[in-house]
Structure 1
Amino acid sequence: MKTAHDLVTQAKSTVREIPLDQAEYAVRNANVVLDVREAEEFAAGHLPGAIHVSRGLLEFKLSGSPDLSSRALSFVLYCKTSGRAALAAKVMHEMGYRDVISIAGGYDAWVAAGKPVVKPL
């Protein structure tokens, strides 16, 4: 029986994960930056320009949102530490999205590096 860790490890072996030093460039040039954390995590702070789509609703939101349905869009995904983003990227590949990357270390690494975030007032 596989664990969550096993599934994340398997996903990371099949998706493109970029190191933090390439993340700002990727975020600036992506069509869509997706935060796949939970709503309260997103509300507490997120990358500038990111939109929120919880990992648990990803497939439904992609299928039901005309703005996100084009397989020609480039996506950068992130979560807290990169596990959920890797799982989300894997699912997106299975759905036919081809330009999907995730950020190694996720939001925590981004914040630790002093990169810009949007936080509530």
Structure 2
Amino acid sequence: MKTAHDLVTAAKARVQETPLEKADQAIRDADILIDVRETEEYASGHIPGAVHISRGMLEFKLSNMPELASRDLRIVVYCKTSGRAALAACALADMGYLDVKSIAGGFDAWAAAGKPVAKPELPSFE
């Protein structure tokens, strides 16, 4: 029986992980940046410009979004620390996407490096 750790390790061996120091350029070069964390994680802060598609819905959403149908899209994915992103990148490769990268260290590494974080503005009730 495989553990989640085993699955992530195997996924990381298959995918292209972009080191944090090259993440800015990878994001600029990408057609889409996808945050695969859960909704509340995304809402608490995310990389500017990221589109939220949780890991559990990724294959379904991409299958139903005609604007993301081209398998030549340059895609960058990330999660909290990079495990879910590696699994997501493998799923995207299995779907036929040809240029998928994940960010090594994920959002936690991004934020710890002092890189920009977008946080939604809550409405003021005053």
TM-score of Structure 1 vs Structure 2, range by shorter chain: over 0.9
% identity of equivalent residues: 66
Shift of 1:120: 2.4
CA distance, structure 1, for counterparts of residue 8 and residue 116 of structure 2: 27
2:74 maps to 1:100: no
Number of equivalent positions: 121
Q: TM-score, normalised by structure 2?
A: 0.94
Shift of 1:18: 0.9
CA distance, structure 2, for counterparts of residue 27 and residue 118 of structure 1: 15
CA distance, structure 2, for counterparts of residue 14 and residue 25 of structure 1: 21
Q: TM-score, normalised by structure 1?
A: 0.98
CA distance, structure 1, for counterparts of residue 100 and residue 89 of structure 2: 6
Amino acid of the structure 2 residue aligned with 1:5: H
Tell me the residue number matched to 1:39. Answer: 39
2:57 maps to 1:57: yes
Say which one has the larger Rg.
2
The RMSD of aligned alpha carbons is: 0.6
Question: Unpaired segments of 5 or more residues in structure 2?
Answer: 122-126
CA distance, structure 2, for counterparts of residue 70 and residue 120 of structure 1: 30
